[in-house]
């Protein structure tokens, strides 16, 4: 028997190596630079540690930090490093879970001491010490029963609980010196691989997300292979903090959320309500242009409606408990679709009347755990720019194309130019319909994306319970992705509600149904807008487009005349006649991020002019009142 095996590389070339050689050694034969950068490797579809020996021919790809999988491995290894440091400093600490997340890692820890920012600095110092010790990170596999003994003897109650729920006969742990953790891996080979890291914050987190369980302390952190990358990321975080919509929401007086009214329920202040109205007004006008009719539906519905739709079977955990009305159970609506179907069923339809495009800015309510609520981005009550299209099968491709084009148009009008498109397929659990129907629907959505010439990724299992969908994520100015738009194919509800139309053959046929939201939740979309623009909204969206300031009381009448003239022109002026210095009022308008500041003094009154300063500019220009109005109107027309 030969002691040589063949390793196929990503470029298709093959490498002959000896059986039993480690992945690390094989990568070294490919390239010493690649060996230095490698964190782990993929053998076929399985990711393994660099120390893993190879006993049979396979494909091999080195996993580096610039790959998504590489970042996850690096950050997960950093969470173990942090836990190791915590254990050295706080020997009684008990560990729950410490995963890699989208941007870094965290670990949930049960400990007597309440951690402070000073403690984070101490933990960082210990992490640096352990990294410098260059400790080997070693995988061990052992019987689950033995692992339970080890963690029980160490007092690691959370690990024991997880182990007791596993069904695997053999589990793996990772050791680095005197620290070990229950983990599937893989991990970096040595602690010295972890070069630059920063612990960012401390938060409370219930064990397993349940308020019934103990509150643990969650430490968040980030790590990179070099200091430059870390510093760049920390600068990004500072900029993100400056743009945080919750802070700007307070400073710009847009919205508030109060415990007294309920977590996740938004109260819109006048300026925030104005912004929301502007978006909704634009939305309505564009929908009329694109052949939609608007409908309106109530906030609650009988349980029978949600039973027929399948929501009580497949979406119940996100719905609020039923209320009794006249002896009948009712639910607050989590979605608008069953109501739109009721409108469809109110009469019979001919094939000549299809497609029907019905849209609604409908407020819905969905349960979210308190721990995940986040300003406007994750709420319990929100307005969804919902629409449902009922069409014949032969009309469906064109309708999907129309929706996709409309969606991209709307997003671009709000200033978003960079998109990432995902084609979400059937979830492995909790879904309805035959596989053949799902496959046909996926093909239809995929064909539409391809006709639009848009690059996309497949999101396996990411579809709704009633059908596949296209999800469009927008990238903001900081290159962060936000989920807003979705186009969903539905062959479930037409069946459940027995929807029909009379076709040209005089017989009843089943219509196709498309769900779509272009902006998604308006609350979430506005939160994204605030952060994208940093509160400096384009003129057409700014709740206040211009602040008019008088130099002295003598100009008060002129200021009011200009305000009324602008209001008549459909503009949104504000006046500031407070008993403060002009400089103070100008600085205040800049702080409120108002696009234009117009100052009127004696000279301006005499000449019929205003002294105008645009946000972001350091000098003022004198112009006629008509010129200022024309300038603002031009910005509005061109969505600036």
In this structure, what CATH number is given to the domain that contains residue 36?
A: 3.10.20.30
Instruction: Please check whether residues 508 and 603 belong to one and the same domain.
Output: no
Residue span of the structural domain in which 154 resides:
68-238
Q: Nearest 5°: phi and psi at 12?
A: 95, -10
What is the DSSP track for 494-515? HHHTT--EE-TTSSEEPPEEEE
Q: Which of 42, 63, 84 is the last residue of a domain?
A: 63
Task: With respect to residue 158, please indicate whether it lies within any of the assigned structural domains.
Answer: yes
Rounded distance between C-alpha atoms, residue 578 and residue 211, angstroms: 49
Q: Is 476 a catalytic residue?
A: no
Residue 370, both tokens: 């308190």
Give the distance from CA 141 to its chain's centroid.
37
| 3-state secondary structure labels for all residues of 255-299 | EECCCCCCCCCCEECHHHHHHHHHHHHHHHHHHHHCCCEECCCCC
The catalytically annotated residue of 384, 532, 593, 613 is 384
Q: Which of 63, 82, 101 is the last residue of a domain?
A: 63
Rounded distance between C-alpha atoms, residue 513 and residue 510, angstroms: 9
User: Between 144-153 and 157-165, two packed helices, what is the crossing angle to 10 degrees?
Assistant: 160
**pTM across the whole model:** 0.86
Instruction: Please check whether residues 430 and 291 belong to one and the same domain.
Output: yes
Q: Within the chain, which residues score under 50 in pLDDT? A: 1
Per DSSP, the three-state class of 332 is strand
pLDDT reported for residue 2:
61
With beta carbons less than 8 A apart as the criterion, state whether 23 and 46 touch: no
Q: Is 366 a catalytic residue?
A: yes
Give the distance from CA 589 to its chain's centroid.
32
| 3-state secondary structure labels for all residues of 15-50 | EEEECCCEHHHHHHHHCHHHHHHCCEEEECCEEECC
Number of Cβ atoms within 10 Å of the Cβ of 269:
16
Instruction: Please check whether residues 53 and 73 belong to one and the same domain.
Output: no
Instruction: Please check whether residues 57 and 75 belong to one and the same domain.
Output: no
pLDDT reported for residue 1:
47
Query: What is the H or E stretch that residue 221 is in?
Result: strand 215-224
The catalytically annotated residue of 159, 198, 469, 532 is 469
Residue 265, both tokens: 């329920």
Angle, alpha carbons 210-214-216 (nearest 5°)? 100
Q: Is the peptide bond before 182 cis (omega within 30 degrees of 0)?
A: no
Instruction: Please check whether residues 362 and 404 belong to one and the same domain.
Output: yes
Task: With respect to residue 513, please indicate whether it lies within any of the assigned structural domains.
Answer: yes
Instruction: Please check whether residues 366 and 427 belong to one and the same domain.
Output: yes
Task: With respect to residue 221, please indicate whether it lies within any of the assigned structural domains.
Answer: yes
Q: Is 391 a catalytic residue?
A: no
Task: With respect to residue 443, please indicate whether it lies within any of the assigned structural domains.
Answer: yes
List all residues 6 or more positions away from 583 whose beta carbon is below 8 Å from its beta carbon: none
Instruction: Please check whether residues 401 and 460 belong to one and the same domain.
Output: yes
Rounded distance between C-alpha atoms, residue 527 and residue 255, angstroms: 10
The catalytically annotated residue of 52, 243, 515, 532 is 515
The catalytically annotated residue of 187, 276, 366, 613 is 366
Nearest CA-CA partner of 599 in 570, 616, 591, 581: 581
Instruction: Please check whether residues 282 and 316 belong to one and the same domain.
Output: yes
CATH number for the domain harbouring residue 198:
3.30.980.10
pLDDT, tens only, 137-157 = 999 999 999 999 999 999 999
Rounded distance between C-alpha atoms, residue 404 and residue 473, angstroms: 13
Instruction: Please check whether residues 390 and 418 belong to one and the same domain.
Output: yes
Nearest CA-CA partner of 423 in 463, 465, 475, 396: 463
Q: Which of 505, 532, 559 is the last residue of a domain?
A: 532
Number of Cβ atoms within 10 Å of the Cβ of 122:
16
- Beta strand 596-600 with 609-614 is antiparallel
Query: CA separation (Å) from 184 to 61, 73, 76, 171?
Result: 19, 11, 11, 8
List all residues 6 or more positions away from 179 whose beta carbon is below 8 Å from its beta carbon: 80, 83, 84, 87
With beta carbons less than 8 A apart as the criterion, state whether 415 and 525 touch: no
Nearest CA-CA partner of 620 in 611, 630, 607: 611
The catalytically annotated residue of 80, 245, 340, 388 is 388
Residue 46, both tokens: 């399985």
CATH number for the domain harbouring residue 320:
3.30.930.10
Number of helices followed by number of strands (H, E) in the chain: 20, 33
Q: Residue 253 half-sphere exposure, CB side, CA atoms within 13 Å?
A: 10
Q: Is 574 a catalytic residue?
A: no
Instruction: Please check whether residues 218 and 125 belong to one and the same domain.
Output: yes
Number of Cβ atoms within 10 Å of the Cβ of 475:
15
Task: With respect to residue 603, please indicate whether it lies within any of the assigned structural domains.
Answer: yes
pLDDT, tens only, 53-87 = 999 999 999 999 999 999 999 999 999 999 999 99
Give the distance from CA 249 to its chain's centroid.
19
Nearest CA-CA partner of 181 in 125, 222, 241, 140: 140
Instruction: Please check whether residues 558 and 508 belong to one and the same domain.
Output: no
Instruction: Please check whether residues 622 and 474 belong to one and the same domain.
Output: no
Per DSSP, the three-state class of 536 is coil
Task: With respect to residue 254, please indicate whether it lies within any of the assigned structural domains.
Answer: no
Tell me how many domains the chain contains: 4
The catalytically annotated residue of 386, 471, 490, 635 is 386
Edge-first strand order for the sheet with 323-325 is 300-302, 328-332, 323-325
Residues counted in the chain: 640
Q: Is 242 a catalytic residue?
A: no
The catalytically annotated residue of 94, 108, 337, 357 is 337
| Placement of tokens 């028997």 in the chain | 1
With beta carbons less than 8 A apart as the criterion, state whether 631 and 621 touch: no
Task: With respect to residue 268, please indicate whether it lies within any of the assigned structural domains.
Answer: no
Give the distance from CA 506 to its chain's centroid.
47
Query: CA separation (Å) from 289 to 154, 187, 292, 353, 640?
Result: 67, 55, 8, 18, 21
Rounded distance between C-alpha atoms, residue 610 and residue 628, angstroms: 8
With beta carbons less than 8 A apart as the criterion, state whether 379 and 263 touch: no
Query: CA separation (Å) from 490 to 20, 321, 405, 437, 511?
Result: 52, 26, 20, 10, 10
| Placement of tokens 């679709």 in the chain | 337
Task: With respect to residue 244, please indicate whether it lies within any of the assigned structural domains.
Answer: no
Q: Is 386 a catalytic residue?
A: yes
CATH number for the domain harbouring residue 609:
3.40.50.800
Q: Is 469 a catalytic residue?
A: yes
pLDDT reported for residue 559:
94
């Amino acid at each position: 028997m030969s002691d040589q095996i063949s390793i196929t590389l990503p470029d298709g070339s093959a490498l002959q190596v000896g059986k039993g050689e480690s992945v690390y050694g094989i990568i070294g034969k490919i390239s010493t630079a690649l060996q230095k950068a490698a964190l782990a490797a993929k053998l076929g579809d399985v990711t393994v540690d660099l120390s893993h020996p190879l006993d049979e021919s396979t494909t091999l790809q080195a996993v580096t930090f610039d790959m998504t999988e590489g970042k996850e491995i690096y950050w997960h290894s950093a969470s173990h490093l942090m836990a190791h440091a915590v254990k050295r400093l706080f020997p009684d600490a008990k560990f729950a879970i410490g995963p890699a997340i989208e941007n870094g890692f965290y670990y949930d820890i049960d400990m007597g001491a309440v951690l402070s920012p000073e403690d984070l600095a101490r933990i960082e110092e210990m992490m640096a010490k352990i990294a410098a010790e260059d400790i080997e990170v070693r995988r061990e596999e052992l019987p689950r029963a033995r692992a339970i003994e080890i963690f029980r003897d160490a007092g690691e109650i959370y690990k024991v609980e997880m182990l007791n729920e596993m069904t695997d006969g053999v589990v793996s742990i990772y050791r680095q010196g005197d620290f070990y953790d229950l983990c599937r891996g893989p991990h970096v080979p040595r602690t010295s691989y972890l070069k630059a890291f920063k612990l960012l914050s401390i938060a409370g987190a219930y064990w397993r997300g349940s308020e019934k369980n103990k509150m643990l302390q969650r430490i968040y952190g980030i790590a990179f292979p070099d200091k430059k990358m870390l510093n760049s990321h920390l600068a990004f975080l500072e900029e993100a903090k400056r743009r945080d919509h919750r802070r700007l929401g307070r400073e710009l007086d847009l919205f508030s959320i109060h415990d007294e009214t309920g977590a996740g329920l938004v109260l819109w202040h006048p300026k925030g309500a104005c912004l929301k109205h502007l978006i909704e007004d634009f939305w309505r006008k564009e929908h009329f242009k694109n052949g939609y009719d608007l409908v309106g539906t109530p906030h609650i519905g009988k349980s029978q409606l949600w039973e027929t739709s399948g929501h009580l079977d497949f979406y119940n955990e996100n719905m609020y408990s039923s209320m009794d009305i006249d002896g009948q159970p009712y639910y607050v609506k989590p979605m608008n679709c069953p109501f739109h179907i009721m409108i469809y069923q109110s009469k019979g339809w001919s094939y000549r009347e299809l497609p029907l495009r019905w849209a609604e800015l409908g407020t819905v309510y969905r349960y979210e755990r308190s721990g995940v609520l986040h300003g406007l981005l994750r709420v319990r009550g929100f307005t969804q720019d919902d629409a449902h299209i009922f069409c014949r099968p032969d009309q469906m491709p064109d309708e999907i194309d129309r929706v996709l084009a409309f969606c991209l148009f709307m997003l671009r009008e709000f200033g978003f130019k960079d998109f990432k498109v995902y084609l979400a397929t059937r979830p492995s659990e909790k879904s309805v319909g035959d596989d053949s129907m799902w496959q046909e629907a996926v093909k239809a959505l995929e064909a539409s994306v391809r006709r639009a010439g848009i690059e996309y990724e497949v999101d396996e299992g990411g579809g709704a319970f009633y059908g596949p969908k296209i999800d469009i994520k927008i990238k903001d100015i900081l290159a962060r992705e936000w989920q807003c738009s979705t186009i969903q194919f539905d062959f479930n509800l037409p069946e459940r509600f027995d929807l029909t139309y009379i076709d040209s053959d005089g017989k009843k046929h089943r219509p196709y149904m498309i769900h779509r939201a272009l902006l998604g939740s308006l609350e979430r979309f506005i939160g994204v807008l605030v952060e994208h623009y940093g509160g400096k909204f384009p003129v057409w969206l700014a709740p206040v487009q211009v602040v008019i300031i008088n130099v002295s009381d003598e100009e008060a009448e002129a200021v009011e005349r200009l305000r009324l003239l602008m209001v008549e022109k459909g503009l949104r002026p504000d006046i500031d006649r407070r008993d403060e210095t002009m400089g103070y009022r100008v600085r205040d308008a800049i702080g409120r991020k108002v696009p234009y500041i117009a100052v009127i003094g004696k000279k301006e009154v005499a000449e019929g002019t205003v002294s105008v300063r645009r946000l972001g500019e350091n000098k003022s220009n004198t112009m006629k009142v008509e010129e200022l109005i024309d300038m603002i109107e031009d910005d509005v027309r061109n969505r600036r």
